[in-house]
Amino acid sequence: KKQELCLSLASSPHSYQRMGGEQKTKRKQNPDKISPHAGIIGGRKADAHSRPYMAYLEIKNGRNTTACGGFLIRPDAVLSAAHCMDKKGTVKVTVTLGAHNIRRQERSQQKIRAGKWVIHPQYSRKDGKNDIVLLKVWPNTSFLPEGSPPAQVGDLCTVSGWGWTSKAGDMSDVLMEVALKVQYAEICEQLSNNFQCQSMICVGDEEEEKATYKGDSGGPLVCNKKAHGIVSHGYEDCLFPEIFTRISHFEPWIQKQLKRFSRKAIPCFPFSD
């Protein structure tokens, strides 16, 4: 059975300190355009089916196909990054659950067409703010038990994905995972004044040997068995640090959308303006 990943509804107060930096650094452009696979730089292969909440999103937009990660938070709901879905024209999304090797026909896999999703109304394509989307699915799932206290600055958390395993574009068919450290907000603020500590988490490996990369967007930052963040974006000139969407900041919005899911009141979004 698939498992849902519990959301962390609390966040570390240490990461709320703001010092602000003047230097601006561009985000990675088109972070999820892959061909056609979707790991992790400096990570390792995840044990097969050890992260059953993971979702692989295949997004078709005309002749283009991109991929992102995502994760179950409820039997009918997957969280991911808004920039994965922010495309013009007709968008079709297939969600694969229960996968380890995404290129094989594993008996554990479920492929589900996601016909409904909601991008946060204040998502900004320009600076990556509010980079969160909720998709409706209909899989058979079970709950992941409650985890431990929220992550603190300095904690090692894990991220999983099928994205690129090097800057050169080497890709992995199997799910990869990597341990990354939660950093002080000041580190990201010194690189970009677009960083918002209330809605973002600064994460990374100081030695630049480990990181998420293209195709990993939308995957969860798991600390103490709870999802605290969503892979969002990084900086063009370095792998460290990385920006994750802070889930706890969006809890009211998430709960509102989940209620709409339950009432079947959410509109279908096969198109993106």
Among 217, 228, 232, 248, the one annotated catalytic: 217
Report the pLDDT value the prediction gives residue 3, as an integer from 0 to 100. Answer: 60
Lowest-confidence region among 22-26, 157-161, 174-178: 22-26
Pairing mode, strands 141-143 and 2-4: parallel
The answer, as to whether pTM is greater than 0.85, is no
Cα separation values, 146 from 44, 155, 227, Å? 26, 18, 11
Identify whether 233 is a catalytic site residue: no
Residue 32 has pLDDT above 60, yes or no: no
Share the mean pLDDT of the chain. Answer: 78
Average pLDDT of the segment spanning 70-75: 90
User: Which residues on adjacent β-strands are paired with residue 203?
Assistant: 182, 242
Residue 30 has pLDDT above 90, yes or no: no
Report the pLDDT value the prediction gives residue 42, as an integer from 0 to 100. Answer: 87
Identify whether 83 is a catalytic site residue: yes
Report the pLDDT value the prediction gives residue 167, as an integer from 0 to 100. Answer: 79
Q: Which residue type, as a one-letter code, is found at position 240?
A: F
Q: How far is CA 180 from the centre of its chain?
A: 14
Highest mean pLDDT among 24-33, 138-147, 220-229: 220-229
Lowest-confidence region among 11-15, 109-113, 130-134, 250-254: 11-15
Report the pLDDT value the prediction gives residue 5, as an integer from 0 to 100. Answer: 59
Average pLDDT of the segment spanning 178-190: 92
Among 8, 12, 80, 83, the one annotated catalytic: 83
Question: Coil, strand or helix: which one is 88?
Answer: coil
CB atoms within 10 A of CB 48: 13
Average pLDDT of the segment spanning 165-192: 87
Among 32, 37, 100, 131, the one annotated catalytic: 131
